[in-house]
């Protein structure tokens, strides 16, 4: 989809989208031809349409046998227009344009814009491209978006900044949609080896470096916790290492981004039920977020050094699967009693984290994982849980969250609950029982971060949507890509 500034108003417009403030005056819209102003004024009066926030009115207007689709969208009070609202309004109007099969839309805004030109361009492009996304490749008759262009009819003092914003928004959206594609692919298509192959293609396309370790190398590294989870599957595990170095300063920090990469989670011998299993092809959403973020930061040429790691495997049952009750020795040397084979994500993550710290010498750890159903129960599908040992990182990620619209809420790393993950016969056990599951899973991870500044994101609730809403369609949200990309911009 093309998104640009309209320099000359054209005689004929196939589709116009009008974002207007509450009770705003249509006649004040620059560039909008008078005959359209008149037509709109009549409908607005007739239907008592007030342009309240999020309201929509869509109708055709025919003149000299040519049809113009008119889409009116209310922005409410322009003072309340923030990134979230603006993205949502773009989503509402673009969704309508796609519904009526518009090809070329002209966007008019009738309000004093509180967003900067850079912001406006970013949010417009990001929201339009996220809204247009559909995972339709397996449909015999795919319904794709018809919309090829949005021309913005607006006089900017600084069109250059707007265009830069569009470029950035495009990078954010493209990386998010890449992650959505990876997550939406089912487990018969995306398994550890094929995930690594896709990651290699992404690396080649965007220009970051990548290395993939197979079974032998993982065994030599003694990543036994990771290996234990994957050994019930016929599909071999892969350790995917992605590196982007944008800061040549030898003293610069390297940030480790670690994504949970369970390409399928049946639960293992502590088997999930059918309902709990059907979405478990999405248990690599953290991995997808890391791959997408690597693409975005390379594209943006950020001045940061990042190591992305995915320990990819499948949690299955078979004669070679790990058992409930097994005691395993993680790469760090700490032993773990497996009291639940379905608490597998943390076992893969701790070996990836330990590897990143001990072998790759990363200075800060950010992990992202569909780790606990409890995070979904607590925060629903719009807020991810964040747990951290570092106040400065928390501030940064909170501001990244405000920018990106990916909501987060902090849970405590409450020390006394460590008792819940102690074992009589090993250093730790892999679950803390039914209560405070998101907290105890993070406390488990914390044992392996060696005191480094660390953020844990639990995206079990936010990785998927079961219906379209705002910029999201059915399926993967690509959550994490925009949040982490913005966080890395703030760490630049």
Please give the residue whose beta carbon sits closest to ligand BES in the complex. Answer: 373
121 binds, among Mn ion, Zn ion, ligand BES, none (CB under 5 to 8 A by kind): none
Closer to ligand BES by Cβ: residue 110 or 475: 475
User: Which residue in 232, 345, 453, 480 binds Zn ion (CB under 5 A)?
Assistant: 345
Residue 234 backbone phi and psi in degrees, to 5: -70, -20
- The CA distance from 283 to 260, in Å, is 7
Question: Using the rule CB under 6 A, is 283 a contact of ligand BES?
Answer: yes
Question: Using the rule CB under 5 A, is 470 a contact of Zn ion?
Answer: no
329 is catalytic: no
Give the range of 50-58, 138-146, 335-343, 387-395 binding ligand BES by CB under 6 A.
Answer: 335-343
- The CA distance from 29 to 154, in Å, is 9
DSSP string, 1-50: -EEEE-SS--S--SEEEEEEETT--GGG-TT--HHHHHHHHHHHHHTT--
Question: Using the rule CB under 6 A, is 233 a contact of ligand BES?
Answer: no
Closer to Mn ion by Cβ: residue 81 or 270: 270
- The CA distance from 142 to 149, in Å, is 20
DSSP string, 398-416: HHHHHHH--EEEE----GG
Work out how close the CB of 378 gets to Mn ion at its nearest, in angstroms, rounded to a whole number.
17
Work out how close the CB of 180 gets to Mn ion at its nearest, in angstroms, rounded to a whole number.
22
User: Which residue in 289, 343, 436, 449 binds ligand BES (CB under 6 A)?
Assistant: 343
- The CA distance from 148 to 98, in Å, is 10
Identify the burial level of 319 via C-beta atoms within 10 angstroms of its C-beta, where 0-12 means exposed, 13-18 middle and 19 or more buried.
Answer: exposed
Work out how close the CB of 245 gets to Mn ion at its nearest, in angstroms, rounded to a whole number.
34
Work out how close the CB of 31 gets to ligand BES at its nearest, in angstroms, rounded to a whole number.
48
- The CA distance from 150 to 378, in Å, is 39
346 is catalytic: yes
Question: How many helical (H) and strand (E) elements, i.e. helices and strands, does the chain have?
Answer: 14, 19
End-to-end CA, the chain: 30
458 binds, among ligand BES, Zn ion, Mn ion, none (CB under 5 to 8 A by kind): none
Return the residues of window 409-448 that contact ligand BES according to CB under 6 A. 431, 437
- The CA distance from 170 to 177, in Å, is 10
Count the residues in the chain.
492
Element at 443 (helix H, strand E):
helix 437-446
User: Which residue in 132, 265, 337, 351 binds Zn ion (CB under 5 A)?
Assistant: 265
DSSP string, 244-286: EE----TT--EEEEEEEEEEEE--TTSPPPHHHHTTGGGTTHH
Return the residues of window 355-384 that contact ligand BES according to CB under 6 A. 370-374, 376
Tell me, rounded to whole angstroms, the distance of Cα 20 from its chain centroid. Answer: 29
Question: Using the rule CB under 6 A, is 340 a contact of ligand BES?
Answer: yes
User: 95, 238, 281, 346: which one is catalytic?
Assistant: 346
Give the range of 208-216, 220-228, 337-345, 442-450 binding ligand BES by CB under 6 A.
Answer: 337-345
Work out how close the CB of 385 gets to ligand BES at its nearest, in angstroms, rounded to a whole number.
12
Work out how close the CB of 355 gets to Mn ion at its nearest, in angstroms, rounded to a whole number.
21
Question: Using the rule CB under 5 A, is 283 a contact of Zn ion?
Answer: yes
340 binds, among Mn ion, Zn ion, ligand BES, none (CB under 5 to 8 A by kind): ligand BES
376 binds, among ligand BES, Mn ion, Zn ion, none (CB under 5 to 8 A by kind): ligand BES
Question: Using the rule CB under 6 A, is 96 a contact of ligand BES?
Answer: no
Q: What is the DSSP letter of 386?
A: E
- Catalytic residue numbers read 272, 346
Residues that bind ligand BES (CB under 6 A): 265, 283, 340, 342-345, 370-374, 376, 431, 437, 460
Residues of this chain that interact with Zn ion (CB under 5 A) are 262, 265, 283, 345
């Amino acid at each position: 989809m093309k998104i640009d500034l309209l320099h000359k108003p054209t005689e004929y417009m196939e589709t116009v989208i009008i974002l207007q403030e509450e009770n705003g005056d249509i006649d004040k819209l620059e560039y909008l031809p008078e005959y359209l102003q008149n037509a709109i004024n009549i409908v607005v009066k007739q239907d008592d349409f007030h342009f309240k926030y999020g309201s929509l009115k869509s109708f055709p207007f025919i003149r000299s046998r040519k049809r113009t689709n008119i889409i009116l969208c209310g922005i409410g009070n322009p003072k309340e227009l923030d990134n979230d609202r603006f993205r949502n309004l773009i989503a509402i109007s673009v969704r309508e344009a796609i519904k009526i099969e518009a090809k070329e839309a002209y966007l008019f805004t009738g309000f004093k814009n509180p967003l900067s030109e850079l912001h406006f361009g970013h949010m417009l492009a990001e929201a339009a491209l996220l809204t247009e996304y559909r995972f339709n490749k397996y449909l015999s008759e795919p319904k794709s978006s018809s919309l090829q262009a949005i021309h913005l009819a607006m006089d900017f003092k600084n069109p250059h900044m707007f265009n830069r914003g569009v470029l950035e928004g495009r990078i954010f959206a493209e990386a998010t949609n890449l992650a959505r594609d990876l997550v939406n692919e089912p487990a018969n298509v995306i398994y550890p080896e094929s995930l690594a192959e896709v990651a290699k293609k992404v690396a080649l396309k965007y220009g970051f470096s990548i290395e993939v370790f197979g079974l032998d190398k993982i065994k030599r590294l003694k990543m036994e916790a990771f290996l234990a989870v994957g050994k019930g599957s016929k599909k071999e595990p892969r350790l995917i290492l992605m590196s982007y170095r944008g800061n040549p300063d030898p003293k610069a920090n390297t940030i480790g981004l670690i994504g949970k990469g369970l390409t399928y989670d049946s639960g293992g011998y502590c088997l999930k039920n059918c309902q709990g299993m059907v979405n478990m092809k999405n248990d690599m959403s953290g991995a997808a977020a890391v791959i997408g973020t690597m693409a975005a930061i390379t594209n943006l040429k950020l001045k940061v050094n990042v190591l992305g790691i995915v320990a990819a495997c499948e949690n299955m049952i078979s004669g070679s699967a790990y058992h409930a009750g097994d005691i395993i020795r993680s790469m760090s040397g700490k032993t773990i009693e497996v009291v639940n084979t379905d608490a597998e994500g943390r076992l893969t993550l701790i070996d990836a984290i330990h590897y990143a710290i001990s072998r790759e010498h990363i200075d800060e750890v950010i992990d992202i994982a569909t780790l606990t159903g409890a995070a979904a129960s607590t925060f629903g599908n719009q807020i991810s849980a964040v747990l951290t040992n570092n106040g400065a990182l928390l501030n940064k990620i909170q501001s990244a969250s405000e920018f990106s619209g990916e909501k987060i809420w902090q849970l405590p790393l409450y020390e006394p609950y460590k008792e819940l993950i102690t074992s009589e016969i090993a250093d730790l056990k892999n679950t803390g029982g039914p209560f405070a599951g998101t907290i105890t899973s993070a406390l488990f991870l914390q044992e392996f971060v060696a005191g480094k500044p660390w953020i844990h994101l639990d995206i079990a609730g936010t990785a998927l949507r079961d219906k379209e809403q705002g910029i999201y369609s059915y399926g993967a949200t690509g959550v994490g890509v925009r949040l982490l990309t913005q966080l890395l911009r703030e760490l630049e």
